[in-house]
Structure 1
Amino acid sequence: MKQVRQSTYDCDVLVIGGGIVGLSTSYAITRAAPGTRVTVLEKEPGPARHQTGRNSGVIHSGIYYRPGSLKARYAVRGAAEMIKFCAEYGIAHAVTGKLIVATEREELPRLHALVQRGRENGIPVHELGPAQIAEYEPQVRGLAAIHVGTTGICDFVSVARRLSEASGAQIRYGAQVVHIDRRPSLGAAVRTDDGTVLRARVLVNCAGLHCDEVARLTGDDPGMRIVPFRGEYYALARPELVQGLVYPVPDPAFPFLGVHLTRGIDAEVHIGPNAVPALAREGYGWGVVRPRELGATLAWPGTWRMARRHWRYGTGELRRSVSKRAFGEAVRRLLPEIGEDDLVRALPGVRAQAVLRDGTLVDDFLIREGARAVHVLNAPSPAATASLPIGREVARRALAVLGGS
């Protein structure tokens, strides 16, 4: 490694983004290379304010993902590691298992395909008939189901906080990045909105909903755009109707899992999410509109190609967004007893979905490198589950760049 005076730089690695992936990356760097100076910049006043803190809290098993993909490998490995991490640090968690339930005959082939996929991914899966479904979930109805025993729940916000504490990194909250001056031979100088300038040898982009914008600030073309999808949730007024986690059979053409029921670590049962276009990167309601961000989404050719390809699916999602009755109809496929009065609005989330120019929804985690930079460009669900192995992979790449500087 070339000898550079430490005073030239404020840190060795600068991580942009204080969600669970950015904090896991800083944690992995300091463990793999003690003494490495890591700084994390997060624009919010605390960690995990967006995707990490606005999801179902499910530790996913990895059953849905293509064998050999990063999602499959990291989710299976990450689920086991997340449970161990929670146990080690006293974070609330439970291994509950979950049911994936077919309610229509046309779903049965897809359910059987999931059984095969689960076995290919090394996940224990048990097939159930209607009577066996009732043993797990007395109020749930279906033609057939599979039980996935390795699924669990935890408090991902507490995980993120513990990662931030254990990493030893310097974490600066309320620090929004507005400019990046990257010079391949020198590293990167990053200016925040209060005028502070930080110089780093290597930059790591874990900016989630804004990762493509940060990549462009460095001068790298990410080759994709984040198209934000809002997921709307309800809480179940009668949580005793659901014992654990209940999912429908997902549509293989779309990377969302459909409206499902999840009993969280707080014992509340959340129902959702749907998936509707958000009108801002952090558009947690129809009234949140940011014209610049919306204009950038609409200007991306992939947005329109995606819409033409998936408009039928999208129409149903929009209907469930504006109609509580329609949302209830989707839930009653699994849980016939509930009525509209059982649905209470809960905290929504926004998924940072990478979309390619041709309209393809990026289905796997996407990590790319530039000069003196590593960019995490697609890390939606199950990224929280897989955050520990994702963090190690990003850390490995960042340290390789640092070692060559």
Structure 2
Amino acid sequence: MVLIKASSMIKKMEGGTIATPAGFQVAGMHTGVKRKRNDLGMLYCDVPASAAALYTLNVIQAAPLKVTKESISKERKLQALIVNSGNANACTGKQGEQDAYTMRRAAAEQLSIPEHTVAVSSTGVIGLDMPMNKIIPNIKHLELSTDEKAAAAFNESILTTDTTTKSTCHQITIDGQTVTMAGSAKGSGMIEPNMGTMLAFLTTDANIEPEILQLALKEATDKTFNCITVDGDTSTNDMVLTMASGKAGNESLTPEHSDWEKFTGLLRHTCEDLAKMIARDGEGATKLIEVEVSGAYDDGQAVKVAKTIVGSSLVKTAVYGSDPNWGRIIAAIGRSGADVNAAKIDTSIGPFQILQNSQPLSFSETDVSRYMQNDDVKISVDLNVGNGTGKAWGCDLTYDYVRINASYRT
């Protein structure tokens, strides 16, 4: 109930950007790493900001992750992020590490800040040497600003196969002060999150210590970014990075703070916005799928069921074809690994109940199919064994997913 109340106090900032929270500026530009779209971006805070980050659990991790982990570990403060798209700088050996450090150093020199206050991120094709002759000379040409044009340029600079930029901005009152939080993300394929996901960069002017911010980010990520799937793959470069300037002027936030749940609600709301945008923009996707599970033994079990359903290729193709083939849903529940009672499951597609106590109900296939033609399709499951709840988001699986990934490098 508290989270619902906190969410009701959150104000969406129309026209707000990742540079709206006090202290932040951004830039983005095209350097030629990619053929057309921007491919180099920078995020800057005019004071050392509390920093928190989560990373992919893929054991093969790109060089920028090593550099960013090292930067944050020194003081848990950051002032800048340098990011490129078009090349992942993954599986590139010692040269790749050297290139990531070179990017960090060049950004630090341009901004006149210590090297360890710069994070580095890359996304794109794995296994290619970094085109440093295009990236490094252009860092000095990045023009930082707080305006919408600069934010749009930054948002584009982090994209790969995405069809659209993904950003959001919200405000809430804490200690009588207006606290703003915003984010920008990319992600369209190779999305099956664990811990950190895709690329997501969050900014806020809230006053919060790094260690506390890390705890809040982990909790929010587990309930949002870790609950989306496009294709079951986990990238080598996934990262969620949050920076807090502290310029809102609120008392330092902790779990004991009277407005703590308002802040965590704001963080979760921002992350959920971005997570759903990523799921909606899955490669070749035409529909967003939301699965809501209730009645599980606990929340973790509910999320496990929800993610299994939304990640099922058979469920995803059924949604694409607007086919109310509920057998695929019940089969996914059964193989989820969660503790379920096979005789007590209720299932609905949109407003239409399909199963009650695991037995099929009479329904109009035409009506359900018509509902499934919507851009947003919701599947609801009640396991009827406990009080656990959870959600997951994904997209349909289309012919275009194969086309896009069959020609990703060519």
Query: TM-score, normalization: structure 2?
Result: 0.23
Query: TM-score, normalization: structure 1?
Result: 0.24
Higher relative contact order, chain-length normalized (CA < 8 Å, sep 6+): 1
